[in-house]
């Protein structure tokens, strides 16, 4: 059995669904169901005895202790995090509470539980921390991609909070011997992505005939990773990664934001044409966000060399699957576009 934190969010729910599609090993799923956590993401698992959902916060030490003592998982896979840069600029406190204090509480609970284990069970236990490439800062156009040895240079409250959590995980390994693994991923995209992030926002706005807001000149470059490839990378690291090591998981797909938006528009023109004209007519350049990193790129050779992992999807195949998923799941989109979501979109974009 494994314990997954944040397993109702975008990456976490994809991980849980993929895990149970490939294994009968049960999952205890702990999620606080904040705005981006969606119980409906896991609807296909209703009634499945392999999936035990617990509504709660990683900062609730008594709850985490109880779950560990009752279910005695062989691993913790830690996704739970506040993860949106724009939200971290408007309200950094929630990011410090969840990403830093929450990770600290989870580490302490894991350490206490791990120290109760004996022999093979203690040796086999793993604490897998899921992080981001944003902790490394920003790259110049000619810089090599981020390697696991890059210095940390976070530039937003979000990336600073994730960098802090990475350092805590490392320290709990070196100080207390807790058997940890850390993965730093590039930008994820795919099904079940909350529509505040670039790709799902462009899809849902285009279908509604709304402006497609592009920050600055749109030339910010990211490495794009299909979420199910990320999940397979995590499984590979959990199964065979060396304790105490960090593994970068990337998609080998560097693209500028404006090119992403134009690709989405072209796919929608093909799959759901708009009588009013090409969707690219809706592209609107807006004021850039403060401290916007110019380029991220992941060097994923270590995980390939040590564990034989490579992404299965190209960007062309992954983005087509993603756009088609949103076209096929309009009810899911409507359900997550609550009043709170609409208020947030107004707060972030109205003044731009």
* Active site members: 133-134, 158
Which residues, at least 6 apart from 43, have a Cβ–Cβ distance to it below 8 Å?
A: none
3-class DSSP assignment, residue 213: strand
Residue 225 is classified by DSSP as E
- Residue 287, Cβ density class (10 Å: 0-12 exposed, 13-18 middle, ≥19 buried): exposed
Helix axes 198-207, 315-328, angle to 10 degrees: 50
- Residue 49, Cβ density class (10 Å: 0-12 exposed, 13-18 middle, ≥19 buried): exposed
C-beta of residue 153 within 8 angstroms of C-beta of residue 190: no
DSSP notation for 177-209: ---EEEEEE-EEESTT--TTSHHHHHHHHHHTT
Q: Which two tokens stand for residue 334?
A: 């409507």
Find where tokens 């580490």 sit: 107
Q: For the chain, first and last CA: distance in Å?
A: 47
Closest by CA position to 236, among listed 218, 252, 249, 223? 249
Closest by CA position to 270, among listed 314, 318, 320? 320
Please list, residue by residue across 83-104, b when 16 or more beta carbons sit within 10 angstroms of its beta carbon and e when fewer do.
bbbbbbbeebeebbebbbbbbb
């Amino acid at each position: 059995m494994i314990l997954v934190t944040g397993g109702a969010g975008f990456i976490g729910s994809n991980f849980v669904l993929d895990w149970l599609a490939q294994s009968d090993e049960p999952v205890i799923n702990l999620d606080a169901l904040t705005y981006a956590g969606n119980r409906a993401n896991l609807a296909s698992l209703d009634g499945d005895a392999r999936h035990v959902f617990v509504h709660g916060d990683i900062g609730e030490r008594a709850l985490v202790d109880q779950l560990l003592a009752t279910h005695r998982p062989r691993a913790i896979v830690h996704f739970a995090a506040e993860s949106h840069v724009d939200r971290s600029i408007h309200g950094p406190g929630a990011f410090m509470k969840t990403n830093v204090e929450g990770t600290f509480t989870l580490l302490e609970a894991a350490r206490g539980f791990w120290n109760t284990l004996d022999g093979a069970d203690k040796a086999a236990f793993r604490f897998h921390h899921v992080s981001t490439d944003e902790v490394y800062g920003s790259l110049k156009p000619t810089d090599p991609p981020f390697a696991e040895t890059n210095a940390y240079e976070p530039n937003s409250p979000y990336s600073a909070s994730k960098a802090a959590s990475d350092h805590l995980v490392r320290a709990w390994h070196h100080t207390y011997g807790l058997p940890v693994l850390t993965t730093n991923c590039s930008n994820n995209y795919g099904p079940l992505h909350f529509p505040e992030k670039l790709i799902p926002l462009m899809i849902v706005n285009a279908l509604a005939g709304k402006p497609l807001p592009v920050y600055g000149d749109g030339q910010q470059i990211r490495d794009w990773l299909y979420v199910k490839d990320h999940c397979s990378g995590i499984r590979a690291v959990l199964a065979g990664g060396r304790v105490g090591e960090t593994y970068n998981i990337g998609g080998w797909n560097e693209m500028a934001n404006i090119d992403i938006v134009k690709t989405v528009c072209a796919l929608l023109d093909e799959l759901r044409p708009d009588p009013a004209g090409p969707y690219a007519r809706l592209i609107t350049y807006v004021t850039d966000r403060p401290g916007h990193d110019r380029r991220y790129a992941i060097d994923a050779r270590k995980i390939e060399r040590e564990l034989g992992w490579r992404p299965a999807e190209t960007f062309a195949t992954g983005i087509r699957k993603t756009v088609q998923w949103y076209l096929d799941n309009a009810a899911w989109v409507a359900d997550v576009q609550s009043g709170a979501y609409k208020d947030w979109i107004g707060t972030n974009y109205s003044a731009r």
